[in-house]
Amino acid sequence: MSDTTQELVLAADGRPLKQSLRRALLRQKLRALMLIAPLLIFVVVTFIVPIFSMLFRSVENEIVPDTLPGVTQALADWDSSTGELPNDDVFRHLYIDMFKASEAKTHTRLGSRLNYEMTGLSSLFRTTGRGLDDIGEEWQDPLEDIDPNFKDGAFWYEMMSGTDGEDLLEERRDLFATMVGESMDGDVGFIPSMQIAEMLPWTTRAYTDFAIWTAIDDEDVVAEEDPWESVYGALGMDLTNPDSVAAIQSYSGFGADALKAAVANVDQLPQTTFRAEFGKENEDWLSPEVWSTIQLYSSRMTPGYFLNAVDMQLTPDGIAEKPENQQIYKQLFMRTLVMALIITASCVVLGYPVAWLLANLPMRTASLLMILVLLPFWTSLLVRTSAWKVLLQQQGVINEILVWLGFVNDADRLILMNNATGTIIAMTHILLPFMILPLYSVMKTIQPSYLRAAKSLGATNWTAFWRVYFPQSVPGIGAGSILVFILAIGYYITPEIVGGTSGVFISNRIAYHISSSLNWGLAAALGSILLVVVLGLYWCYDRIVGIDNVKLGG
């Protein structure tokens, strides 16, 4: 025991004390974390993940490349600045992709999506979707005249089937599945022949799509069904390709006779391009602007919604402002900010004297008066909103009293509701307790002796208040203002009911895009901008007051 200083201090169980303490601390930390973990996971899964999925939705643009995979690939090489239309290859892809989409009825969704960027595209896609069969029949009828075998679904099945085409099948299946957003798993009962696929690439693509849709979605047997019109159109595309024609001449498998007959009588087939056919359906397809819009929005991520949310748009020449008459969001954001500021300011003006009174009265009187502040705070938001509707409407209490007292003519009653005035009055009332409570808790800590000291040193009442009391109450004003501002800027119900059209906030626009116009991407972009503003303010709030100091109910 002579050199205890050299030895480690041991705990009761013989371990070194230091190690033992560290283990205890670790255990304590783990226990705390285990208590928090269930809630943390719950909040992250049911709240944080949804918020992030919303943020993601504001840039996500998968619908264009998913619905028109061939077109977006083919368009990549097209230079929109030349003012020329894309080549016929693009239109061929458009035909194959559109036909598939119109069978799955996703082309209208794509149309609505692109309509947000260029008005008129929705109807373009919708009407074209109806005319796709006609385009295919241009080829179908002569082909069936050349060889009646082309009428027969079983003949087509036999001709297209073969070996080694599994990869092609899976590729087309994946494209289909991403387009409809559902799994397309299952037995198709058809494997494309690799030989045919190399000889007739367009036809094979179209036929494979047909086979997948028939087997998986319609749950029919592929061999018993007549192929889509697009398959005939696709064969027409292949027959204009010299390579395919040469391959057919040396082909000897099933259906060789029919194909050779088609090559021999190729002059009976329509001598036209798919570009011309689409132009016949709807001349908008011949407008380079339509194509440059599709090209601009063909990537998987787009800044388009965010640009829309700040009244900008993507043009081939880069980002530009929208025309003056289409700008609404910047103004709406400004209005939201201005109205939230007015509401915050009115809350400070009304709340400051009351908080001062509550903080300086004897405890018992203050608690009684506090009930008058807390009662509206605890009352349902909808009750208070309906109260303001009762008060503010044209036949409402305020107007009735003013008319009865003779201050306002019965004919020209004040319009207090369905405009910004209504929103400001009602929201000031609703948010006032949120200003009074933080102000009160700050003022409660200010020593009244400071004021007396100032006065005894010769300050006037005003100087004493302004130079001594007011600076000490500024943290309360800051806390209350940020709280009220954060709450005001995201309000939805009250502006919706008493705000009419000129008194609504950005949140009402978000709700409109979610439930009425269904432009979810734009709603998400507007929401993201609002969220960033609020989080910025929240950060300030944390710096000024600290989250731990948030108090509820006094």
Partner 1 sequence: MNELIVNIKRPNLLTFTMPIVAVLGAMFGFVTGNIFGDPFIGAVGGAVVGAVLALALAKIVSIKRWKKIWGVAVVFAVVAALFGGVGGFLGGFVVGLSMGWFATWVGTGKYRAGVPIYYTPGQVLWHCTFLFICAFVFFFLIAPLIPVVWLSFNAENFFTFTPEMLSFKSAGYSLKHYRDFLGTDEWMVPLKNSLIIAPIATLISVSLGTLAAIGLSQSHVPGRQVMMAILISPMIVPLIISATGMFFFYAPLGNWLQLNLGLNQAFVGYVKVILAHAVLGIPFVIITVTATLVGFDSSLTRAAANMGADPVTTFFRVQMPLILPGVISGGLFAFITSFDEVVVVLFVGSARQQTLPWQMYTGLREQISPTILAAATILVSVSILLLATVELLRRRSERLRGMSPG
- Within positions 469 to 488, which residues make up the interface with partner 1, using CB under 8 A? 486-487
**Residues 512 and 527 sit within 8 Å (Cβ to Cβ):** no
**Residues 472 and 446 sit within 8 Å (Cβ to Cβ):** yes
What does the DSSP 8-state code read for residue 419? Answer: S
Q: How far is the CB of 449 from partner 1 (least distance, A)?
A: 15
Instruction: Return the amino acid letter for 553.
Output: G
Q: How far is the CB of 160 from partner 1 (least distance, A)?
A: 33
Smaller CB separation from partner 1, 274 or 491:
491
Measured CA to CA, the distance from residue 544 to residue 20 in angstroms comes to: 40
- Within positions 340 to 369, which residues make up the interface with partner 1, using CB under 8 A? 350-351, 353-354, 357, 363-364, 367, 369
Among 89, 123, 492, 540, binds partner 1 (CB under 8 A): 492
> Residue 397 interacts with partner 1 (CB under 8 A)?
yes
- Within positions 426 to 455, which residues make up the interface with partner 1, using CB under 8 A? 429, 432-433
Smaller CB separation from partner 1, 8 or 375:
375
Q: How far is the CB of 406 from partner 1 (least distance, A)?
A: 4
Smaller CB separation from partner 1, 461 or 517:
461
Q: How far is the CB of 452 from partner 1 (least distance, A)?
A: 10
Measured CA to CA, the distance from residue 309 to residue 326 in angstroms comes to: 11
**Residues 435 and 347 sit within 8 Å (Cβ to Cβ):** yes
Q: How far is the CB of 72 from partner 1 (least distance, A)?
A: 24
Smaller CB separation from partner 1, 120 or 554:
554
- Within positions 197 to 256, which residues make up the interface with partner 1, using CB under 8 A? none
Please name the helix (run of DSSP H) or strand (run of DSSP E) that holds residue 318, with its range, or none: strand 318-321
Among 189, 279, 376, 500, binds partner 1 (CB under 8 A): 376
- Assigned token pair, 388: 């303001």
Angle at 227 between CA 223 and CA 229, to 5 degrees: 175
- Closest C-alpha to 554, from 446, 437, 444, 471: 437
DSSP string, 198-265: HH-HHHHHHHHHHHHIIIIIS---GGGSPPPHHHHHHHHHHHT-HHHHHHHHT--STTHHHHHHHHHT
**Residues 551 and 370 sit within 8 Å (Cβ to Cβ):** no
Q: How far is the CB of 492 from partner 1 (least distance, A)?
A: 5
Q: How far is the CB of 215 from partner 1 (least distance, A)?
A: 21
Smaller CB separation from partner 1, 36 or 334:
36
Q: How long a stretch of residues is the chain?
A: 554
Instruction: Return the amino acid letter for 487.
Output: L
- Within positions 114 to 173, which residues make up the interface with partner 1, using CB under 8 A? none
The region, left, alpha or beta by phi > 0 then psi within -120 to 50, assigned to residue 187 is: beta
Among 196, 296, 424, 510, binds partner 1 (CB under 8 A): 510
- Within positions 35 to 94, which residues make up the interface with partner 1, using CB under 8 A? 35-36, 38-40, 42-44, 46-54, 57
Among 209, 225, 229, 496, binds partner 1 (CB under 8 A): 496
Among 1, 12, 405, 411, binds partner 1 (CB under 8 A): 405
Say how many residues touch partner 1, by CB under 8 A: 98
The residues, any chain, with a CB within 8 Å of residue 411's CB and separated by 6 or more, are: none
Measured CA to CA, the distance from residue 256 to residue 235 in angstroms comes to: 14
> Residue 390 interacts with partner 1 (CB under 8 A)?
yes
Q: Which of these ranges, 91-99, 221-229, 442-450, 526-534, lies near partner 1 under the rule CB under 8 A?
A: 526-534
Q: Which of these ranges, 68-76, 240-248, 257-265, 400-408, lies near partner 1 under the rule CB under 8 A?
A: 400-408
> Residue 113 interacts with partner 1 (CB under 8 A)?
no
